[in-house]
Amino acid sequence: MARQARTRSRRREAALAVVLLAGAAAAAATLSRPADAAFPGGNGRIAFQSERDGNAEIYAMDADGANPSRLTNDSAADTAPAWSADGASIAFQSARDGNQEIYVMDGAGNGEARRTTDAASDSDPAWSADGSKIAFISTRDAAAGEVYVMNRDGSNVTRLTSDAASDQAPAWSPDGSKIAFASTRDGNLEIYVMKPDGTGVVRLTNSAGADTAPSWSPNGSRLAFVSTRDGNDEVYAMDADGTDETRLTSNAAFDDDPAWSPDGKRIAFASTRDGNYEIYTMDPDGSNVTRVTTSSGVDRNPDWQAVGQAPATSIPIAAVTLPNRLLVANVEFVPSVLSSRDAFTARVVVHDANGLPVDGALVFIRGVPERRVDPLAEKATNAQGIAEFSVQPTALLPLHDGGRLTFFVRARKPGEQVFGGVSGSRLVSLALTAPG
């Protein structure tokens, strides 16, 4: 379901649509929204959407609400911010180019890049734990919406669900082994989990109300979610297998959009308890509620940045031995289309054959032919399996529409031969266009 700026009138329209789809007798149901995974680490800034300056834009603030800063500025609605596990990037959705599409930018709002291009609606972005993929909802093959996954640069789009009902709000588990989502496939809106390839679907909730917006705790043991089972939208939590359901909020107003803190000690959420939607935080048992935003516009969809700690799923390069191998899983260029000879960034993600990010792999990147960019020194991947390069084109790089700048990228184990052992490589290219 496409998401625009969250006015209460739109919210109730979307809620009614869910009720009609589900055939439920409830008078209201929860709006589809992106879910979240709290990746482990220290508590950084909270990204959220706000209408305080007119239309919906992405903002970030300190955990106590201090130092808010506007990250996007567009006449269309920019919504649904989602931090990557390394706390460096934010995925979001925007209708700035006509319909709802997925975009990515850095944590300061720079380097905005469009990642989906489809006539249908693409929404609800959710990062994988290693930062190499983004799950999202699209209506490209079904009007009700299905779960898809793509590489972080927008390539290799793969459909994960195929159901006549509405699938929404995907959330990748912190260890990367599961994707939680909401679906009306069994009648009304309920929470499910599946493997990252779309198999092994398991239903977790079973209530007469609508259950949606699953949000993983940073250790992956609990899921917060929103339910209308007791009348209106409230925040609940349950174990990752669907047991031990607990109601966390109890208010006549709407409580929505739960998002765990990276240290697991707080949950951010949005509530209308003081009038319009504002952002609040609470302890995981629902106590110690604190309001952190105060604006005349709607503030919703908080997502907490993880800082200072790598995902627990990385593997050290020393542990990668045959028959396991290194894979150049993804190469992202910023900007994604080159229109000048200014320096640009190449971000290389290295996995092992099991899909785990590799810490300490040596990455080499070379232009083909070599003289089109300055030589680059080999770099080691960090704990997220990432190596970043600043690439400087030379005067020999031709800039023309339809051209491509090609790179050979290789990852190897220190001490092994260039093409021997567990090494892996691939060719990638960057589109060129003449300066306008």
Same domain, 187 and 296: yes
Q: Structure tokens of 415? A: 């001490």
Adjacent-strand bridge partners of 225: 236
Is residue 39 within 8 Å of residue 261, measured between CB atoms? no
Instruction: In whole angstroms, give the CA distance from residue 176 to residue 328.
Output: 18
Same domain, 273 and 321: no
Is residue 73 within 8 Å of residue 59, measured between CB atoms? no
The CATH number of the domain where 387 resides is what? 2.60.40.10
Same domain, 42 and 18: yes
The CATH number of the domain where 211 resides is what? 2.120.10.30
Q: Please enumerate in sequence order all residues whose Cβ is within 8 A of that of 319, keeping only pairs 6 or more positions apart, or say none.
A: none
- What pLDDT score was predicted for residue 97? 87
Same domain, 347 and 204: no
Domain termination site, one of 307, 331, 365: 307
Q: Would you say residue 153 lies in a domain? A: yes
A 10 A CB-CB count for 284 gives 17
Same domain, 298 and 329: no
- In whole angstroms, what separates CA 204 from the centre of its chain? 22
Domain termination site, one of 255, 277, 307: 307
**DSSP for 312-368, written as a single string:** TT-EEGGG--TT--EEEEEEEEESSEE-SSS-EEEEEEEEETTS-BEES-EEEEEEE
- What pLDDT score was predicted for residue 337? 77
Instruction: In whole angstroms, give the CA distance from residue 409 to residue 406.
Output: 10
Q: Would you say residue 1 lies in a domain? A: no
Adjacent-strand bridge partners of 337: 431
Same domain, 59 and 182: yes
What tens-digit pLDDT sequence spans the chain (436 residues)? Answer: 334 333 333 333 333 333 333 333 233 333 445 556 678 888 999 999 999 988 999 999 999 999 999 999 999 999 999 999 888 899 999 999 889 999 999 888 988 999 999 999 999 999 998 888 999 999 999 888 999 999 988 988 999 999 888 999 999 998 888 999 999 998 899 999 999 999 999 999 999 999 999 999 998 999 999 999 988 999 999 999 999 999 999 989 999 999 999 999 999 999 999 989 999 999 999 999 999 999 989 999 999 999 875 444 678 999 999 888 899 988 888 887 788 888 999 989 898 877 788 999 999 999 988 889 999 999 999 988 899 999 999 988 887 766 788 999 999 999 988 778 999 999 988 888 766 5
Q: Would you say residue 423 lies in a domain? A: yes
Q: Would you say residue 2 lies in a domain? A: no
Same domain, 328 and 294: no
Same domain, 279 and 340: no
Q: Would you say residue 130 lies in a domain? A: yes
**DSSP for 27-80, written as a single string:** S--PPP---EE--SSEEEEEEEEE-TTSS-EEEEE-TTS-S-EE----SS-EEE
Same domain, 126 and 12: yes
- What pLDDT score was predicted for residue 23? 35
Adjacent-strand bridge partners of 238: 223
Same domain, 186 and 138: yes
Q: Which domain holds residue 369?
A: 315-432
Q: Would you say residue 152 lies in a domain? A: yes
Report the length, in residues, of the chain.
436
Q: Would you say residue 3 lies in a domain? A: no
* Tally of structural domains, the chain: 2
Same domain, 296 and 319: no
Domain termination site, one of 285, 307, 329: 307
pTM for this prediction: 0.68
Same domain, 21 and 167: yes
